[in-house]
Structure 1
């Protein structure tokens, strides 16, 4: 064997080891991309019904969401197997640990994406997502109660596990089970009260203490999630829109306008944390379509259409930048 040939295997092994080891830096909050893409797909389905836009747009985005989830799931399971200490570090982190809720929420939303194609599979995915969401919410809340918390850890990420239980009813509104209404009510009760408590704590922290670090600034958008998701969850449970639902929608829209200027400004570093803006915005957009469909006036339909365009542009930019950083090797590094 020549000297050149003998070097091929070591070089190949080195590249493979480098590729595998980079998985230890795969952030769990990347699952937020699945949440955002799923929410965008559902919003484009609303657009097809309301404005007659091409249905293929929403279905294509939904397919991308499924593919991204499969890739991330396989990658993160590999990380769990090869670097379990890294997964434990993430889960035990008082801030990052809350982003494990993005996994369970992504599963719930994918059940809605899958619904038109296979009801049975959609129902199974929803059940898995529901069980996982409730278990995670119990773990996170228990951890917050038994350990003393630093006020600086009161960040918008605290809302994610609670918002996850709200999503049970968002995705479960069309489930055919006889017991589904009670599960939806349970999810709304848990998520609604947790959102109220955590939102107050986080708002107080933002008002009276140092601002969030730049890399965490995009997570401010999570503050609008309880209102957009709460609207969708509540209206699915009562099968209609009432004054309380209107209050949830309008305050979510108001807060989204306020926070948009704080989040989307020059100088903030790009990273996986930017996916935190995706689903909260998508929830408000879906809420806008549902509310516009109920009120049936052109100003609200215009708000729905404009917000969908903004959401699509934002997610397209974040998606492209994420791929760019991934291929440059800057996304998965310590």
Structure 2
């Protein structure tokens, strides 16, 4: 009988797993805001933020260890036409953690923000500008392309707002909005006319929910939380995307639950926060009526994602091990 080397397999944690941090910390921000307008304990929001920071710290440690021990696997992920976009979740979540710790330790928040924003700008310049050379395959044009230049710039704007860097935040917001507007027609054209997405990639459409709602959160962060026409318009487009996601849910659910379902989470959590902002601006009216039902809905979705993910973890299907030589090879990513 052939003996099995216990050290021949290593833990495989792709950068896409950072998507779990987006939804958890986003929901934490929503609960923090809720505690300022409703009689709910602030500790719920802080607890979710701390949970997200814990997940981020563990994933960051695993990612950095992979950079040191298996640099070729990280390079392969960075060069992959689809997976490369998800690598940008590392600086994105770093900046969200900076926002999360701002009330507790500003100096730590500034340090994390500085590292995150520098990394996201360098990676966007390398990855997104690299696509301009005309070699990006059409089938790899998915909503994941929003992450490096749209999501990261909106999150940079949110972090600038939290730290008081308003002018810089407006610069990042502008970069994010125009990047979003330039990418969306191309992505939607591919989704409509270039053939059905393979089943494993379908849940990446959950990212489509995020740009308008995260842009709305970023706008609130840099304008002092003022509800205006622009914020309402962004929220309206976000609600339309939510309707589209609900329409496509049976199609999504043909894919068994896995960590990729967290792609819906950042848009969902941003829906809660922006809905509360808009609803609190007036004690009656359309947005006030929507705020509580949307908050309950988003909490239910994030709770379901957490429960299903814990179930995957307990069943040994979340943290998988692959052969060492698989991580050392970039054959599948070329």
TM-score (norm 1): 0.88
Per-residue deviation, 1:87: 1.1
Q: Give the C-alpha shift of residue 304 in structure 1.
A: 2.5
The residue number in structure 1 matching 2:246 is: 260
Which residue of structure 1 aligns with residue 62 of structure 2?
75
Tell me: higher relative CO, structure 1 or 2? Use CA pairs within 8 A at least 6 residues apart.
Answer: 2
Which consecutive residues of structure 1, in runs of 5 or more, have no partner in the other structure?
1-10
Say which of 22, 28, 33 aligns to 1:46. 33
Residue 186 of structure 1 deviates from its aligned partner by: 2.1
- Root-mean-square deviation (CA, aligned residues, Å) is 2.1
Partner of 1:197: 182
Q: 1:172 pairs with 152, 160, 171, which one?
A: 160
Q: Hey, what's the Cα distance between the residues in 2 that align with 1:313 and 1:215?
A: 24
CA gap 1:266/1:98 in 2 versus in 1, 3 angstroms: closer
CA distance in 2, matches of 1:243, 1:230: 14
In the other structure, the counterpart of 1:212 is 197
1:232-254 residue CA offsets vs partner (Å, 9 max, x unmatched)? 22233333232122111111112
Structure 2 residue 136 is the aligned partner of structure 1 residue 149: yes
Q: What is the distance in 2 between the residues matched to 1:83 and 1:174?
A: 36
Q: Which moved more, 1:184-193 or 1:57-66?
A: 184-193
Q: Distance in 1 between matches of 2:36 and 2:199?
A: 39
Residues 1:310 and 1:170: Cα distance change in structure 2 (over 3 Å): same
Q: What is the Cα deviation at residue 14 of structure 1?
A: 4.5
User: Going by fraction, where is helix more abundant, 1 or 2?
Assistant: 1
Give the match for residue 231 of structure 1. Answer: 216
1:22 is paired with a residue whose SS is: strand
Equivalent position of 1:5 in the other structure = none
The answer as to 2:280 corresponding to 1:289 is no
- Give the conservation status (yes or no) of the 8 Å contact 2:212–2:234: yes
The answer for the alignment partner of 1:3 in structure 2 is: none
The residue number in structure 2 matching 1:85 is 72
* In 1, Cα distance between equivalents of 2:152 and 2:271: 15
Matched, 1:159 2:121: no
Aligned to 1:244: 230
Match of 1:323 among 301, 310, 316: 310
Following the alignment from structure 1 to structure 2, what is the Cα–Cα distance between the partners of residues 88 and 290?
A: 41
Where in structure 2 are there 5+ consecutive unaligned residues?
323-334
Q: Count residues with an aligned counterpart.
A: 316
Aligned counterpart, 2:330: none
1:58 corresponds, among 30, 34, 45, to 45
When the two structures are superposed, what TM-score results if normalisation uses the length of structure 2? 0.88
C-alpha distance after superposition, 1:280-329 (max 9, x if no partner): 21122211112222244264234232222222222222223323323433
CA contact 1:215–1:271 (8 Å) conserved in 2: no
- The higher radius of gyration belongs to 1
Q: What is the rounded CA distance, in whole Å, between the counterparts of 1:74 and 1:256 in structure 2?
A: 34
- In 2: Cα distance, 1:201 partner to 1:119 partner: 40
Alpha-carbon separation, structure 2, partners of 1:318 and 1:86: 28
Q: Which moved more, 1:194-203 or 1:237-246?
A: 237-246
**1:134 aligned to 103, 111, 121, which one?**
121
Bigger mean CA deviation after superposition, 46-55 or 59-68: 46-55
Listed one character per residue, the Cα deviations across residues 114-139 of structure 1 (whole Å, up to 9, x for unaligned) are 12211222222222222222222212
C-alpha distance 251-295 of structure 1, shift in aligned 2 (>3 A): farther
